[in-house]
Structure 1
Amino acid sequence: MSRSAFVQRFTSLIGMPPIRYLTLWRLQAARSQLRESQKTIGQLAYSVGYESEEAFSRAFKREFGLPPARWRGQQVVL
């Protein structure tokens, strides 16, 4: 299957292109880890597939409206 055919098929089945799906999956995994672990932002970024903390922070802020450290600080621990 060609790359363009894969992208079209994936998008028709899932509702978004594969790269967008992967980005959302990574960021949602990171959000869970931010809530549940004490990993540094750099460790967390690497664990979900980002090579730099800066790129991860920009993507996280774009998706969730806050940088990861600030988002973590606003979470209420029950």
Structure 2
Amino acid sequence: MARVLMFGRLSDVAGWREREIDSPSLSALKARLASEDAALGQALSGPGVQVALDQVIVRGEGFLNPRTEVAFLPPMSGG
């Protein structure tokens, strides 16, 4: 099962910071999370949310294996 991490406000919305979830792809994982919790699904699809697979930011689809670490990162700001 993939290790799924939520950071910042995303962990507040989810109500958890880390979970083990079985999913074949990033899109399937997002769909599963959204079906379990509509507010989390909406937060994950919001502007500026990034996803890292094994500590590498990805855009678009990604395929998961049982050792994949998936991190959802909230929008960043800085100056």
When the two structures are superposed, what TM-score results if normalisation uses the length of structure 2? 0.30
Higher-strand-fraction structure: 2
Return the structure number with greater helix share: 1
